[in-house]
Amino acid sequence: MQCRGLTPNRKRCAAQAIDETCFCAEHQLPAQIAERRAEPESRGGLIGKLLPRPPRGGVPDDAKHKVAGSLKNKSTEQVCHELLRNESVDVRWNAAFALRRRRDSSAIESLWQALRDDPVGMVRQQSAVALGKIGTLAVLGPLIEALWHDRDAGVRQACAIALGNLGYQIASKDLAEVLGRDIAVFVRWDCALALGQIGDHTVEGLLNELAASDVSPVVRKACQEAVEEIRKNNK
């Protein structure tokens, strides 16, 4: 398996994972530290604030669409095959949606591949949503990579929303950097909202700056609201 770590330019590491941890030697220790910090018994104090637990019961999902009947009785492995191999855009999108509803961590590799390689934006977008619903630390890599590099603003926006819902503070640096540089208004808007959800007070300076200077009024307002949310949660 390819390492699940990210390079400094937010691309997936090309090295092979050395064991079941799914990371190469370079990324293995940081991943292990992050996993330990994410354990419920480690939530107190400063470390607990670095990696807040996702909402109880998992990340909420209010989707009204139903899983396609042709996919309901297929195994996760079979649904992943449809996601990556089927020539129909509609089938691939529905496969990603089915995986979104299953929240099966065994689908992470296939969803990451679809998020990186599918030629159709709406399939990549649904794959990003599905990764966010799985809700573990393992999904941060694909979501952050696509937030930085996907050519479709809708996909980047889906990644920002997912990272905000997940609430892991280690994602705040990437959200802040994309907020400061993305050309799409609603990507920046959702990055600001995500930072408010995460509650990392270290990004207040950037949010205050953009609340005064961003060219978009909706982004300025989102930054102001994010600062208010952060201050409320850090009292």
Q: Alpha-carbon distance 189 to 181, whole Å?
A: 12
Residue 216: exposed, middle, or buried by beta-carbon count in 10 A (0-12, 13-18, 19+)? middle
Q: Which domains does the chain have, with CATH numbers?
A: 1-51 (no CATH), 65-167 (1.25.10.10), 170-235 (1.25.10.10)
User: Which spans in the chain are helix H?
Assistant: 25-38, 45-50, 69-72, 76-85, 89-102, 108-117, 121-134, 140-149, 153-166, 172-181, 185-198, 204-213, 217-233
Under DSSP, the state recorded for 7 is -
Averaged pLDDT of the chain: 88
The pTM for the full model equals 0.86
Rounded mean pLDDT, 77-96: 97
Rounded mean pLDDT, 225-233: 93
Rounded mean pLDDT, 49-63: 58
pLDDT digits (tens, 9 = 90+) for 142-151: 999 999 999 9
Which of 65-74, 94-103, 122-131, 151-160 is least confident?
65-74
Q: How far is CA 56 from CA 104, 152, 220, in A?
A: 17, 31, 31
Higher confidence at residue 38 or residue 124?
Answer: 124
Under DSSP, the state recorded for 20 is T
Residue 19: exposed, middle, or buried by beta-carbon count in 10 A (0-12, 13-18, 19+)? exposed
- Predicted confidence at residue 34, as pLDDT, reads 59
pLDDT digits (tens, 9 = 90+) for 33-42: 555 445 443 3
